[in-house]
A and B are shown apart, each in its own frame.
Chain A
C-alpha cells in the first residue's frame, strides 16, 4: 500500500500489560513514503502485523493534527522525535533517511505507568487539574464579557500558557520526571488573568500538592521540558509558579 522507497528498521517497546515485562522488538518496514506521517508509518507496520497473524502495536493517537495531545512516542531518545515544535502525529518521514534505525519507546515516568506497548496512563494530569486548575464559576454566573477589559499583552501571555496540550512530553524528557512545566502552564494562564485572581494562591498550593502526590519529580532547572515541548511552553511559567507558590505561604498566613 505504501508508495515510497524508504526502508527502515524499528526497535519498538512491546509490553503486554502493566504488569508484564517489556522489551524492544525489531521490525523492518519497507517502501515508506517521505510524505507519510510517523503514525501512518506505524499504520503500515500494524496492517502488516495483523495480516501476518501477529499482534499490532498499541499506541495512543486521535486527532492526528497536533492538538489533542494523545500521541506520545519517545523516538530516538526524544519525545515526539527529532523535529522541534511538533507532536508525533505531525512528524513526517521526510525527517528520516532511508536505512535509518529508529528506536520507539513509551513515555517513561513513575506517574505515567505503561498500560500496553507505547500506551501510558496520564490520568495524573487530570487529577492535578481537578485539584485546582479552574476558575470557580458556575454556569450562568457570568457578566458581559466586555465588562472586563484585559490588556492584549496579558491576554496573549495567558493564551500562550494555555496552548499546552497535556501530552506529557515535558515529563517524559525530564530526568526527574517532573510535571512542573505542565502544572505551571495552567497556573500561569489563570494567574495572568483578572478572573483568576480570587483563587490564585489557593490554586497553586492545591495543584502543587496534587502534583507531588502523583509521584512526579522535582524541577532542577535543566530546561529539557521547554526544549522538547511541541507547543513552545516557556520555562518562565515555572518561575511564575514558584513565585506564586512561595507568595502563597505569606498570603495564607496573613489570612490566617
Chain B
C-alpha cells in the first residue's frame, strides 16, 4: 500500500481554501441531475450536506436509523458553536481559532483542515441565522457569546442549553424543504449495513428497512458517511442509545482506513453513575464552567455536607493547578485532574467518584450586580442570592432542571456532583483534504471522520465541524470527484457487487439470530464497556492494554457463541439491530487498544501512564509520534498501520500549557 496522500493543495495556509474553491472542477447543472449521492446519517453533518447538495442539483438519498432525521444525536449538544466572528472585540480571528484548535488538539491535527474549519466558521453562523435559528441575543438585538474551555476569547454562540437542537432543526428544515421539493429522498428507520464497491470505488450501500427487516440496495456515484462517533464502545457514554460505529466499521472492512481510534474524549462534567442499572450518562454542559467553580474537600473522606465545608477547607484544584485558565482548562486536562483527586481519596458523594461544581460564588456575584442595577443599597444576603439565582436560571435553567430530575438534588441549593464520562471520539475514518476516505467515492463527515480535533476536541467545536463539513466543505470537494464520474451511468441493482454485498449482510444477520445462546446483547456490551473504561479510558498502560486486547478477543468468541437475539430478521427487532452494532464495537474496541498501545506517548485524551511529566501532565513525543495513525483492516482480524506525518509550518509546536 502506498503512503497516504492527504491531497492538501499547494500554497499558503491562508489562501489554500480560496484557491481550491476557485479552481476545483465543476459539474454543470444538467449533469448534476444525473449524479446520485447517498448520505448516511442526518445529524448536523448529514442533514446539512444532504440539503446543500440537493440545492446544488444533485440527486440525493438520505438515510437515518431514527424515526425522523430531526432525532439524530447532534440534537443533544448543549453548550454552543464556535466561530471566529470577533463580535466581542476581544482579539479573535481566524488564525486564533485555528491556533486554539491545533493547540487544544495537542498538536495532533492537520493544519490545512483546521485552518479551513476556522475560515468557514463565520459562514455557519450567518447561514444558521438566515434559516431562523434562534441564537441567543443581547438587548441591543445582536448575537451573544460565551466562553468555553481552552480559549481566552468569547467566541461561542449558543441557544440556551439547546444549541445542538436549534442548529439541527435548522439543518433539518433545510433538508425537509428539499424532501418536499422531491430533490432528497429520505429513508427513515433504515440502517446502512455495508458499502458496495465496484472496481475499488464506492458505488452504493446495503441498507436494512428496520420495520420490515427487508434488505435494500441503493446506488450512488458517491457515498457520504455522516454517522457520528463511537463513544458507545464504552457502553456508558453521553451518546444516544442508538449511536454506533457500524457504518464506519463496515467502511473500514471495505478498505477505508480508521484514523487515530484511541483518541476519545472524556468530558469532565457529567452526572456520576448512580447504579448498575444505568443505561447512559448525562452531560452537564461545559458552559457551566463559565460560572461554576470545581472543588473537593481538602480533607480526605470528608463526610460533611458541601454547604457545611468552609471556604478555606475547599480545594479549588483547577484554579490551584492552572491559574491562567482555571476552571476553563480543556476537557482532557479537567477530566484527568478530577480523576487524580478522586483516586487520591478526595472524591465526594456515595461512590466517592465525584467532585463538586459549585455556583454559589457566581450566584452571589450576579446577585450583587442585579441589586446594583436596581439601586438597592446594602441588600441582605438572601436578596442577593435570590437575584443571583434568577440570572443563573435564565442562563442554565434547563440544565439545572435536568440535574434535579436525574439526581433528586437541587443544584440551586447544593453544589452539583460531577464526574468525567465518555463524550466524543476524535478518531474516525481517515480522510484527505477533500474529506474522502481511502476508498474513492466514499467520504466521511463530522464526528465520523478523524480530521480536525487532533487528540482532544475543544468545547463547541463539534457543531462547528459538523456544519462546516456539510454546508461548506463537501459541497465543493465532492465536485472534484464527481466531475470525473459524469460518464458513469447508475449501476443496475442486480449488478453482482450488489448481490454479493446483500448476501453477506444477510448471512451475518442469520448467523446472529441463529446463535440462540444464553446471554443478552446488553450483557456483552456492558462487559466490553467495562474493559474499555478500565483499560482504554482516561488512563492507559502497556500492561492494561495488552490485557484488554486478550479480554476483548475472548469476549468476541463468547459473543459469537452465546449471544441470544430474540425474534426474527423480517420484523422490527431492536435486539437484532443492537447485536450487529455490538459485534462491530467489539472489533473496534480491539483496534482502539492496539492503537493506544502503539502510541508510546501521551497526548490530549490519550494518556499513557508511562509518559507523563513530573507534575502529571501529558508528555508528548513529537520526535516519534507526530503522525496520524491510519489503520487498514486486513480482514483476518489483523490491522496494518499507515502513517500520515503531521507538518506544522504555521504553528510552533510546543508543550501545551494552561498554567
Partner-B contacts on A (CB < 8 A) = 1-3, 17, 33, 35-37, 39-40, 43-44, 47, 49-51, 53-56, 58, 60-70, 85-86, 90, 92, 94, 115-116, 119, 121-123, 125-126, 129-146, 148-152, 155-156, 158-159, 162-163, 165-166, 189-190, 193, 195-196
Among candidates A40, A130, A139, A150, residue contacting B137 with C-beta atoms closer than 8 Å: A150
CA distance A193 to B481 in the complex (A): 39
Q: When the two chains form their complex, are residues B76 and A50 in contact, meaning their CB atoms are under 8 A apart?
A: no
CA distance A166 to B70 in the complex (A): 8
Given A47-B520, A135-B131, 13 new contacts (CB under 8 A): A36-B277, A51-B520, A61-B241, A62-B66, A67-B76, A115-B211, A119-B572, A126-B69, A135-B173, A143-B130, A158-B132, A162-B159, A189-B132
Among candidates B143, B176, B188, residue contacting A146 with C-beta atoms closer than 8 Å: B143
**B406 proximal to A (CB < 8 A):** yes
**B73 proximal to A (CB < 8 A):** yes
Q: When the two chains form their complex, are residues A123 and B188 in contact, meaning their CB atoms are under 8 A apart?
A: yes
Task: Check A54/B566 contact, CB under 8 A, given A139-B52, A146-B143.
Answer: yes
- Chain B residues, Cβ within 8 Å of A90: 402, 405-406
- Shortest distance between the CB of B225 and any CB in chain A (Å): 19
Task: Check A122/B87 contact, CB under 8 A, given A62-B242, A90-B406.
Answer: no
Q: When the two chains form their complex, are residues B402 and A195 in contact, meaning their CB atoms are under 8 A apart?
A: no
**B146 proximal to A (CB < 8 A):** no
Which of the segments B119-127, B216-224, B363-371 contacts the partner chain?
A: B119-127
Of the A-B pairs whose beta carbons lie under 8 Å apart in the complex, a sample of 29, sorted by A's number, is A40-B277, A43-B277, A49-B566, A50-B575, A61-B241, A64-B241, A64-B280, A65-B280, A65-B402, A67-B164, A68-B71, A69-B71, A70-B71, A85-B401, A90-B405, A92-B405, A92-B406, A129-B70, A129-B172, A130-B179, A130-B180, A135-B131, A135-B132, A138-B52, A139-B48, A139-B127, A139-B475, A152-B139, A193-B132
CA distance A67 to B161 in the complex (A): 11
Task: Check A166/B177 contact, CB under 8 A, given A54-B566, A142-B129.
Answer: no
**B162 proximal to A (CB < 8 A):** yes
- Chain B residues, Cβ within 8 Å of A162: 134, 159, 166, 169
Task: Check A145/B126 contact, CB under 8 A, given A36-B277, A126-B69.
Answer: yes
Q: When the two chains form their complex, are residues A145 and B129 in contact, meaning their CB atoms are under 8 A apart?
A: yes
Task: Check A136/B70 contact, CB under 8 A, given A33-B277, A40-B279, A56-B566.
Answer: no
What band does the interface of chain B fall in when counting residues whose beta carbon is under 8 Å from A?
35 or more
CA distance A122 to B67 in the complex (A): 7
Return the chain B residue nearest A136 by Cβ: B177
Q: When the two chains form their complex, are residues A195 and B68 in contact, meaning their CB atoms are under 8 A apart?
A: no
- Chain B residues, Cβ within 8 Å of A129: 70, 172-173, 176
CA distance A60 to B71 in the complex (A): 11
Task: Check A143/B141 contact, CB under 8 A, given A39-B279, A50-B575, A63-B76.
Answer: no
- Chain A residues, Cβ within 8 Å of B85: 145-146
**B439 proximal to A (CB < 8 A):** no
Return the chain A residue nearest B186 by Cβ: A126
Q: When the two chains form their complex, are residues B279 and A65 in contact, meaning their CB atoms are under 8 A apart?
A: no
- Chain B residues, Cβ within 8 Å of A17: 571-572
Task: Check A50/B566 contact, CB under 8 A, given A1-B277, A68-B75, A126-B68.
Answer: yes
- Shortest distance between the CB of B473 and any CB in chain A (Å): 11
Among candidates A86, A119, A135, A148, residue contacting B405 with C-beta atoms closer than 8 Å: A86
**B522 proximal to A (CB < 8 A):** yes
- Shortest distance between the CB of A250 and any CB in chain B (Å): 24
Task: Check A138/B141 contact, CB under 8 A, given A56-B566, A126-B186, A195-B132.
Answer: no
**B227 proximal to A (CB < 8 A):** no
CA distance A156 to B471 in the complex (A): 26
CA distance A129 to B275 in the complex (A): 40
- Chain B residues, Cβ within 8 Å of A190: 132
Q: When the two chains form their complex, are residues A142 and B123 in contact, meaning their CB atoms are under 8 A apart?
A: yes
CA distance A9 to B509 in the complex (A): 35
CA distance A186 to B571 in the complex (A): 34
- Chain B residues, Cβ within 8 Å of A131: 180
Q: When the two chains form their complex, are residues A150 and B130 in contact, meaning their CB atoms are under 8 A apart?
A: no
- Chain A residues, Cβ within 8 Å of B402: 65-66, 90
CA distance A33 to B279 in the complex (A): 13
Among candidates A2, A37, A126, A137, residue contacting B188 with C-beta atoms closer than 8 Å: A126
**B51 proximal to A (CB < 8 A):** yes
CA distance A87 to B184 in the complex (A): 31
- Shortest distance between the CB of A37 and any CB in chain B (Å): 7
Q: When the two chains form their complex, are residues A60 and B165 in contact, meaning their CB atoms are under 8 A apart?
A: no
CA distance A149 to B574 in the complex (A): 47
CA distance A54 to B564 in the complex (A): 11
Q: When the two chains form their complex, are residues B132 and A196 in contact, meaning their CB atoms are under 8 A apart?
A: yes
- Shortest distance between the CB of B563 and any CB in chain A (Å): 10
- Chain B residues, Cβ within 8 Å of A193: 132, 134
Q: When the two chains form their complex, are residues B240 and A148 in contact, meaning their CB atoms are under 8 A apart?
A: no
Task: Check A116/B571 contact, CB under 8 A, given A64-B280, A126-B69, A163-B162.
Answer: yes
CA distance A141 to B52 in the complex (A): 11
